[in-house]
Structure 1
Amino acid sequence: MINFDEEVAKFVPSLEVEQAEDVINNNDLSDITDIIKTMMKDLKDK
């Protein structure tokens, strides 16, 4: 039978997941709201 606590204690997340998490959290990505705000500002300035 599998000892759940023992398996959880041995768990090590893969480096790829950690690297992807860092990239996602550290990027300042524009969402649709940011894009619309920029477009509205540009139109207003004209």
Structure 2
Amino acid sequence: MINFDEEIEKFQPSLEIEQAEDVIYNNDLTDITDILKELLKGNKEN
């Protein structure tokens, strides 16, 4: 049988996943809140 505790101790995450995490968390994308803020800012100026 598989000893799950032993397998968990040996587990190491894939480097690709860690690299993907960094890209996702550090990516500065415009989202709907940024768009709405710009629209509201434009309306206040007019």
TM-score by length of 1: 0.76
Structure 2, unpaired ranges of 5+: none
| Residue 12 of structure 2 corresponds to residue 12 of structure 1 | yes
CA RMSD of aligned residues (A): 1.4
Residues 7-46 of structure 1 mapped to structure 2, 5 A cutoff: 7-46=7-46
Structure 1, unpaired ranges of 5+: none
Cα distance in 1, alignment partners of residues 40 and 34 from structure 2: 10
What residue identity is the alignment partner of 1:40? L
Over the matched positions of the two proteins, sequence identity in percent amounts to 70
TM-score by length of 2: 0.76
Would you identify which runs of 4 or more consecutive aligned residues in structure 1 move more than 3 Å? none
Cα distance in 2, alignment partners of residues 30 and 4 from structure 1: 42
